[in-house]
Structure 1
Amino acid sequence: MPETAMPFRIARIQAWSLRVPVRTPVATSFGVMHNRPAVFLRIEDAAGAAGWGEVFANWPAAGAEHRVNLLIDDIADLVLGREWNDPAEMFGELSRATHIRALQCGEPGPFRQVIAGLDIAAWDMAARRHGLPLAKLLSSEAADRVPVYASGIHIDAAAAVIAAARAAGFRGFKVKVGFDRTSDPAKVIECSRQLLPGESLYADANQAWTREEARHFLKAVTEAGLGWIEEPIACDAPDGDWIDLARLNVPLAAGENIAGTDDFDHVLSLGALRFVQPDVCKWGGVSGNLAVARDTLRRGHIYCPHFLGGGIGLIASAHVLAAAGGAGLLEVDVNPNPLRDALASSSDFVRDGYWHLSPRPGLGIDGIPAELHDHVTLWRETG
């Protein structure tokens, strides 16, 4: 973490839930999203300095509004008016202070996600104060661009979507599988045959299979040369299942449904994952994800941040990846999402297989664009 002083005191919190209906639902092996949600938040200190963050809200369908209320009604009292030495201190203290509250209601995930959004906003505010892009605040050696790949590609629509993503500047593509055990392998192989030199193909099963089903898929797609298979089995499957699959022909990736430094330490110690994929808006924010990223690299694995949400979290993911270094890839969902594109459109950031970071201070975000105001479903503030 940076050695520069970053004390702050939050005087005001604002939060918005937004939803945009989509013509083509986003399908995964575990369910379908019929709209694109997001939770954006803004913090402000007494002098008017501000920072923006994002809270995971993709699932369940009622998640966005719930997380706004959770932030304002149950977590804000732990934040407002307190002096923090830096965002990492706030992240750690809020994680400890909300532990019993999360146990009481059986909802550790939403608490973690709200804290992650607050952490992102605090880091954005700190970087703005120093006049630096967030990546440069986190590391003076941060890159100004990171490799990128297109994700969210349903296997049944892969040919057309990959062609469009290629034209938009992507050179890596991740297809969604786990829908049909009989036909999925052949479809993946066909996708691999359409790749151009220098391009890569990945697959994501979203925890769809048992160990035996995953073994069958991996053996069937050997000739596809997949860069990785993501979440072929449940993230809480027995260690032995992950170790068994790691012996096969495709590198394993996971992490979006893992939370906490202890759990990531266990996963890294197990050695089954080649690619480790925490989500900046689901757990950890910048503080937790940067620590996991650096530990991942130190142990010889590859950090590739997971992301599926609005534009603020995507930009934050790019900055953490740039600060961490390594050979990781930034995930960019290419399904239609105005809540992403109004702030972080691929047409503005992606060129020749790379995401190019903005040189503006912090995350480079000034506010919620006017075209999104009609999609706000709930707005609350306190302080």
Structure 2
Amino acid sequence: MATITHIELRMIDLVPKVKRVDAIQTFVSQETPILTVYDSDGASGTGYSYTIGTGGPSVMALLEHTLAPMLTGRDPDRIEGIWRDLLFATHATAVGAITSLALAAIDTALWDLRCRKQGLPLWKAAGGSREKVPLYSTEGGWLHLETQALVDDALAMQAQGFRGSKIKIGRDHLSEDDARLGAVRSALGGGYEILTDGNQGFTLSEAIRRARVLEEHGIGWFEEPLPADDVAGHMQLAQHTSVPIAVGESMYSLSQFKDYLQMGAASIVQVDVARIGGITPWLKVAHMAEAFNVMVCPHFLMELHLPLVCAIPNAKWLEYIPQLDTVTNGPIRIADGHAIPSDEPGLGIDWDWDAISRLSEVKTVKEGA
């Protein structure tokens, strides 16, 4: 039986290539912990997570001082057992973002190691449901952009075969959101999906008011209209509109998704593999959503979510926001508006280790160190 011998920790800051503004924040930084686990057979697996903005050093400290030392000497193929042990060891700080992001870096590395040793790509190892998934674009729909820029980007994506675009909403007055969405719908026609994202920026009464406008434009979903912990509010909103309610990027446990699904407060589940704590809990959320006949459309992390949405039967979309271009040897494969997962063993991410080394320092955690 192989055992884990040591772990390497790095953090890189991936500054967004374009200005990203939504209803509550501007993205100026993307601190990205990267973790590589090595076993006694000489094999390795690499995983990662991320923060939008700051907080990365806190994740790294939890990994270096608490979680990574608990991995050495363990059987890396016992992924579920390791995940449970690490969660219990940090129960005083769970459920929460920092713990989940740290667990995700470890869990994704262990899945990468398992898949590499088995000679399987993640999309097959985790289920192998489909060979491609349709894309929608978010990069051209930010809140600060002028209306013509929204239209031009959506037309460009449509010309590339994309099936939809997401538009950030939350301008000061309803009429502004109405005009922006109306211009995109008029230019793109009825066959192109327009999705909207409120980024938790509304009260319930204002969300109900804005949802009526979304209905008029045939909007595909209303994402994060309210604060993520307001389950009852989302349930009430869902009862007041025909627009599907999409939530999940700001949830950190299986139980939180269970509450939303049981109460009929979510029509689209946007579970984020980093924020839920890794591939192990991500798959549980996806299969639970399937039991409720609810589709999964994950948030961000396009490169890692690609094999996961192809592993399950109830994934409708993959969100197109390039994240890793500067630290990988090539972008994901896209054909006719669909993303195609890699058939290489592992997560399917071809890391550019020279670029990563230039951007980070490595810390090694060994048994007894």
Q: TM-score, normalised by structure 1?
A: 0.87
Q: Quick check: 1:343 aligned with 2:311?
A: no
- After superposition, the Cα gap between the structure-2 partners of 1:168 and 1:45, relative to the gap in structure 1 and judged at 3 Å, is farther
Q: Quick check: 1:75 aligned with 2:67?
A: yes
User: Who is 2:177 aligned against?
Assistant: 184
Please show how residues 256-271 of structure 1 align to structure 2 within 5 Å: 256-271=249-264
Question: Retained in 2: the 8 A contact 1:189–1:223?
Answer: no
SS of residue in 1 equivalent to 2:4 = strand
SS of residue in 1 equivalent to 2:226 = coil
Say which of 320, 344, 360 aligns to 1:332: 320
Q: Quick check: 1:86 aligned with 2:78?
A: yes
* Count of aligned positions: 359
Q: Which sections of structure 2, spanning at least 5 residues, go unmatched? A: none
Report the alpha carbon displacement of residue 162 of structure 1 after superposing the two structures with TM. 2.0
Task: Work out the CA distance in 2 between the residues paired with 1:270 and 1:46.
Answer: 47
User: Who is 1:150 aligned against?
Assistant: 137
Question: Retained in 2: the 8 A contact 1:142–1:324?
Answer: yes
User: Who is 2:201 aligned against?
Assistant: 208
Question: Retained in 2: the 8 A contact 1:54–1:117?
Answer: yes
- After superposition, the Cα gap between the structure-2 partners of 1:130 and 1:23, relative to the gap in structure 1 and judged at 3 Å, is closer
Q: Quick check: 1:358 aligned with 2:352?
A: no
Question: Retained in 2: the 8 A contact 1:67–1:114?
Answer: yes
User: Who is 2:91 aligned against?
Assistant: 99
More strand by share: 1
- After superposition, the Cα gap between the structure-2 partners of 1:327 and 1:66, relative to the gap in structure 1 and judged at 3 Å, is closer
Task: Work out the CA distance in 2 between the residues paired with 1:138 and 1:119.
Answer: 13
Report the alpha carbon displacement of residue 215 of structure 1 after superposing the two structures with TM. 1.1
Task: Work out the CA distance in 2 between the residues paired with 1:196 and 1:284.
Answer: 39
Task: Work out the CA distance in 1 between the residues paired with 2:307 and 2:78.
Answer: 18
271-280 vs 315-324, greater mean Cα deviation:
315-324
Task: Work out the CA distance in 2 between the residues paired with 1:255 and 1:175.
Answer: 18
Report the alpha carbon displacement of residue 379 of structure 1 after superposing the two structures with TM. 3.1
User: Who is 1:296 aligned against?
Assistant: 289
Report the alpha carbon displacement of residue 327 of structure 1 after superposing the two structures with TM. 4.2
Report the alpha carbon displacement of residue 282 of structure 1 after superposing the two structures with TM. 1.1
Report the alpha carbon displacement of residue 55 of structure 1 after superposing the two structures with TM. 1.4
Structure 2 residue identity aligned to 1:349: R
63-72 vs 21-30, greater mean Cα deviation:
21-30
Question: Retained in 1: the 8 A contact 2:151–2:183?
Answer: no
Report the alpha carbon displacement of residue 249 of structure 1 after superposing the two structures with TM. 2.7
User: Who is 1:221 aligned against?
Assistant: 214
Q: Quick check: 1:379 aligned with 2:362?
A: yes
- After superposition, the Cα gap between the structure-2 partners of 1:23 and 1:269, relative to the gap in structure 1 and judged at 3 Å, is closer
For residues 177-219 of structure 1, what are the alpha-carbon distances to aligned partners after superposition, in whole Å with 9 as ceiling and x for unaligned? Answer: 1232331122112212222564211011110000011111111
Question: Retained in 1: the 8 A contact 2:328–2:350?
Answer: no
Task: Work out the CA distance in 2 between the residues paired with 1:162 and 1:132.
Answer: 36
Q: Which sections of structure 1, spanning at least 5 residues, go unmatched? A: 1-6, 308-312
Question: Retained in 1: the 8 A contact 2:162–2:336?
Answer: yes
Say which of 247, 252, 261 aligns to 2:245: 252
16-25 vs 91-100, greater mean Cα deviation:
16-25
Question: Retained in 1: the 8 A contact 2:169–2:196?
Answer: yes
SS of residue in 1 equivalent to 2:185 = helix
Task: Work out the CA distance in 2 between the residues paired with 1:162 and 1:249.
Answer: 24
18-27 vs 112-121, greater mean Cα deviation:
18-27
Structure 1 residue identity aligned to 2:203: T
SS of residue in 2 equivalent to 1:273 = coil
Say which of 47, 50, 53 aligns to 1:53: 47
325-334 vs 290-299, greater mean Cα deviation:
325-334
163-172 vs 284-293, greater mean Cα deviation:
163-172
User: Who is 1:125 aligned against?
Assistant: 113
User: Who is 1:27 aligned against?
Assistant: 21
Say which of 155, 164, 170 aligns to 1:172: 164
Structure 1 residue identity aligned to 2:150: A
281-290 vs 323-332, greater mean Cα deviation:
323-332
User: Who is 1:10 aligned against?
Assistant: 4
Report the alpha carbon displacement of residue 108 of structure 1 after superposing the two structures with TM. 2.7
Q: TM-score, normalised by structure 2?
A: 0.90
Say which of 97, 100, 104 aligns to 1:112: 100
